[in-house]
């Protein structure tokens, strides 16, 4: 029997997802997330399910971005943790990582078995060039807001780019030097 009226939620009170709902939501986001999960996360959490307002999402995302690790992975931990503590964080995280891990492992097995097939190599050369282009577009989108921050911010980004991208200095070393300098500049600009 199907219940005649599914429990409806009043629009003024934000719905509170259960732990299994968290798992399912992040599971679906991960499956949709071709070329980045974040736009899907925003759409699902803010626009479809109304679990967060746009403002709350931005604040959670700011924390996720600020801390080390993949942004969307951190977002799952922050969001799940806010709602249900460790259980919520674990449910969102496992939901987010389970489908891509299985898919990527299948692809990895296929690649190690057929990666040397000449036709597949030709396809991959094209796909790899396109993948680099997609990441390039993201780089441009990230760099543009920096132009408004002024020459200092751009110079720091340039130093990081050259040190890690060209000179191939170890990342920890670059971060330990560059991050405090950049933070000091940010403090000086906002003094």
Partner 1 sequence: MKLDTLGLLAVQFALLSLFAVGGAMAVLPEIHRQAVDVSHWLTDRQFADVVAIAQAAPGPNIMLVTLIGYQAAGLAGAMVATLAMCAPSCLITFFVSRIFDRFKDAKWRIVVQAGLVPVSVGLFAAGTFVVARAADRNLVAVAITFATAAVSYWTKLSPLWLFATAGALGYLGFV
Residues 129-158 that bind partner 1 (CB under 8 A): 129-143, 146, 149, 152-154, 156-158
Cβ proximity to partner 1: between 49 and 185 the closer is: 185
Nearest-angstrom CA–CA distance, 81 and 15: 16
Q: Which stretch binds partner 1 (CB under 8 A): 4-12, 13-21, 42-50, 62-70?
A: 62-70
| Cα angle, residue 67 at apex, residues 65 and 72 outer, rounded to 5° | 45
* Residue 158 beta carbon to partner 1: minimum distance, rounded to whole angstroms: 6
Structure-token pair, residue 16: 């509170």
* Residue 5 beta carbon to partner 1: minimum distance, rounded to whole angstroms: 35
Structure-token pair, residue 125: 């050369």
* Residue 30 beta carbon to partner 1: minimum distance, rounded to whole angstroms: 5
87 binds partner 1 (CB under 8 A): no
Nearest-angstrom CA–CA distance, 99 and 105: 10
Residues in contact with partner 1, shown as a per-residue x/- string from 161 to 190 under the rule CB under 8 A: xxxxxx-x-xxx-xx--xx--xxxxxx--x
* Residue 31 beta carbon to partner 1: minimum distance, rounded to whole angstroms: 6
Cβ proximity to partner 1: between 25 and 96 the closer is: 96
Are 85 and 19 in contact by the 8 Å Cβ rule? The answer is no
Q: Which helix (H) or strand (E) holds 117?
A: none
Cβ proximity to partner 1: between 2 and 151 the closer is: 151
* Residue 88 beta carbon to partner 1: minimum distance, rounded to whole angstroms: 10
Are 174 and 156 in contact by the 8 Å Cβ rule? The answer is no
List Cβ neighbours of 98 (8 Å cut-off, separation of 6 or more): 27, 30
């Amino acid at each position: 029997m199907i219940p005649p009226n599914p429990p409806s939620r009043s629009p003024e009170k934000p719905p509170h997802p259960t732990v299994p709902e968290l798992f399912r939501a992040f599971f679906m986001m991960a499956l949709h997330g071709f070329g980045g999960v974040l736009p899907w996360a925003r759409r699902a959490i803010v626009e479809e399910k109304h679990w967060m307002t746009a403002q709350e999402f931005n604040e959670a995302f700011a924390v996720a971005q600020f801390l080390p690790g993949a942004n969307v992975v951190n977002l799952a931990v922050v969001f799940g943790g806010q709602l249900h503590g460790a259980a919520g964080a674990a449910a969102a995280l496992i939901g987010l990582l389970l489908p891509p891990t299985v898919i990527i492992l299948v692809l990895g097995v296929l690649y190690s078995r057929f990666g040397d097939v000449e036709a597949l190599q030709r396809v991959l050369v094209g796909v790899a060039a396109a993948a680099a282009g997609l990441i390039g577009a993201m780089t441009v989108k990230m760099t543009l807001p920096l132009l408004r921050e002024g020459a200092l911010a751009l110079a720091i980004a340039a130093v990081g780019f050259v040190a890690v991208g060209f000179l191939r200095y170890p990342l920890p070393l670059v971060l330990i030097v560059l991050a405090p300098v950049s933070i000091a500049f940010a403090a000086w600009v906002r003094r």
